[in-house]
A and B are shown apart, each in its own frame.
Chain A
């Protein structure tokens, strides 16, 4: 009972010291929060395909003298997450206005349908080599990753519209040749088939998710940045904790405490618990901010809690380990910053792992950050429950055990 009382006393004392340290609070809470807010907003365009709540605006200039461009534009406008802009200041947009929008950085890409678009499509009936061109006016600085999906979408819809427009004429021409050889009943049946074909699409594409992934949502910038910078911020506890241990050694408080009837394991437990609790608080605050400010869905709370508990264990374990390597505050700060920043970057907290080269993606598996981020995204993005996140939690606890065991083995109280 006395030992529990001692652990709680050390915990309470360290929490008081920690919450009086304005700089420490800024590092642990404000910094990751600001990263979450700023980076989520900045990278919104990079991560989000756009959705009905927040559509991506796509300026389109229609110079086509026929009807096909208008049909393509109508279909583009029906795409969820795309808002087609054909007018500018109440007038149909001109090519010059469109170019100015890109030059001025107001839009990253503009689609231009030339005057002969429909004409060139229809020429295809007689000339197999005829091609209609759609222009994509873009800022050269905009990455291909951003442009490629738009280009693919426009091309896909245009191809479909063109093929649909050409299909009846092609079928009709083909059948006309056949009709001469068929009886009257067969002619009526063929006409009916042609009409049915024109009414319905043969292929329908529907987005589905694998079994067990209950939430049909895909990562947006918040779902990348909130867990990413939460994990990043949680590991800043390493420096805070290691510096606190060093201070206790340097200022003789450990010496005084060890002259009291206080066993070393109890003292160490008392030093770990407050930082573990602060880690959990960090996760709670970051996710609450994301929920309140951005409406980020917090699903599967038990699974989230399990990942958070395992993450906090890994971070505090690393704190003990780093404390055994630094003999001065400068050494500890340097080592902590080096480790946490490198591991955060490699683990995908700053840049998602799916854009990294293969060997970097493999390297992410050797960081607790990578597993923690995957754990959070398994819950938040893929909707996994407890059964789905146990490998992530187990990996984090494995890191915690390794860090802690090496740390305790190397630990000196004086």
Chain B
């Protein structure tokens, strides 16, 4: 593993249940993931709920043992040296892993002590992370009195106390209002600017697009694409046009659509036509002209601009939030 690589996974598999029972292999939540994350990178796992993102993070943070495969985190094998790995990582779970009746400071003091911080060092670190997430003035308030966004920020702060080399952020913006979400993005970018490697899981494509240097699109336990968001969109994004047609398609019309210059692929389903285009706007002009010429009535029209959502749609045939 090169010095520049801080996480390297090879053929990671997580299988639940008794392989000898029922279907014979149990349920595979993660099916042979291989990837490498560079030091100082914000690496995103983008995929729908149940895709295997949290299971992968759980294996990388030594909470679950892989059924097959290996993972090296910060130079240590997650199975052979879990203690060394745990000292070097910070986990911000999807749940608000906080004690609601305790104050923000009490929560942080507790988590800091678990990592062996004490006395003046603990106080300094707690003040530092409270300031970092903008909660210094509410340090003495009970967490149950915080807004959703404040709780999320504190949830992140609790993962930073021991200054980890790698921070796992598992869906850190679930249930957060747009303003707080932007605040969280800024914190993540600041941490990364200070040199922290961040593994960020989300099912919001905007977050992956905005924050991540590279994104692994994951579905049904497999990585189906991995690159920078820009490259993924350029290669696969294009655009998608959904057209509803009134009286069915005239014979030969599908072939004429497919022949248009910007069109990559055409499929027909439920009385609609799905047109995958390299550039959606240009393709739309050609499509409208064609439908006009052939007297085909359009009942509905939806243009999906190229983004990671359309990349996912193209790769899997379904939306991220399906």
Contacts and interface: CB of A to CB of B under 8 A. Distances in A.
A21 interface: yes
A250 B96 CA distance: 10
Contacts of B35: none
B97 A255 contact: yes
A252 B96 CA distance: 7
A124 B111 CA distance: 90
Interface residues of A, number: 24
B95 A262 contact: no
B116 A5 contact: yes
B89 A6 contact: no
B248 interface: no
B101 A20 contact: yes
A256 B116 CA distance: 15
5 contacts: A5-B116, A5-B118, A251-B96, A252-B95, A259-B91
A414 B64 CA distance: 10
Interface in B76-131: 83, 86-87, 89, 91, 93-99, 101-102, 106, 110-111, 113-116, 118
A13 B102 contact: yes
B99 A253 contact: yes
B190 to A, nearest CB: 22
B62 interface: yes
A6 B86 CA distance: 15
A2 interface: yes
Given A13-B99, A13-B110, 18 more contacts: A6-B113, A9-B114, A10-B114, A13-B106, A17-B102, A20-B101, A251-B96, A252-B94, A255-B95, A255-B97, A256-B97, A256-B111, A256-B158, A259-B61, A259-B63, A259-B86, A259-B91, A261-B83
Nearest to A263: B83
A215 interface: no
A252 B57 CA distance: 14
A255 B91 contact: yes
A17 B99 contact: yes
Contacts, number: 69
A6 B95 CA distance: 22
B110 A9 contact: yes
A260 interface: yes
B120 to A, nearest CB: 16
B176 to A, nearest CB: 16
Which size class do B's interface residues fall under? Answer: 20 to 34
Nearest to B159: A256
Nearest to A19: B101
Contacts of A259: 61-63, 86, 89, 91, 93, 168
A261 B99 contact: no
A261 to B, nearest CB: 4
Interface of A: 2, 5-6, 9-10, 12-13, 16-17, 20-21, 250-253, 255-262, 414
Nearest to B62: A259
A209 B102 CA distance: 54
Contacts of B91: 255-256, 259
- Binding site of A, secondary structure by majority: helix, strand, loop or mixed? helix
Contact of A252 (B61, B97, B114): B97
A260 B97 CA distance: 13
Contacts of A261: 83, 86-87, 115-116
A9 B94 CA distance: 24
A303 B207 CA distance: 64
A257 B62 contact: no
Nearest to A259: B91
A17 B101 contact: yes
Given A17-B102, A251-B95, A259-B61, A5 B86 contact: no
Given A5-B118, A9-B113, A17-B102, A255 B86 contact: no
A261 B114 CA distance: 8
A414 B159 CA distance: 19
Contacts of A253: 97-99
A249 to B, nearest CB: 10
A250 B115 CA distance: 22
A5 B96 CA distance: 24
A260 B101 CA distance: 22
A17 B144 CA distance: 12
A259 to B, nearest CB: 4
A154 B94 CA distance: 77
Contacts of B63: 255, 258-259, 414
Contacts of A251: 95-98
Contacts of A250: 95
| Interface hub of A2, A9, A12, A260 (most chain B Cβ within 10 A) | A260
Interface string B271-306: 000000000000000000000000000000000000
Contacts of A6: 113-114
A66 to B, nearest CB: 77
A224 to B, nearest CB: 37
Nearest to B115: A260
B96 A21 contact: no
Contacts of A414: 63
A264 to B, nearest CB: 11
B118 A256 contact: no
Contacts of B83: 261
Contacts of A257: 114
B93 A256 contact: yes
Nearest to A3: B116
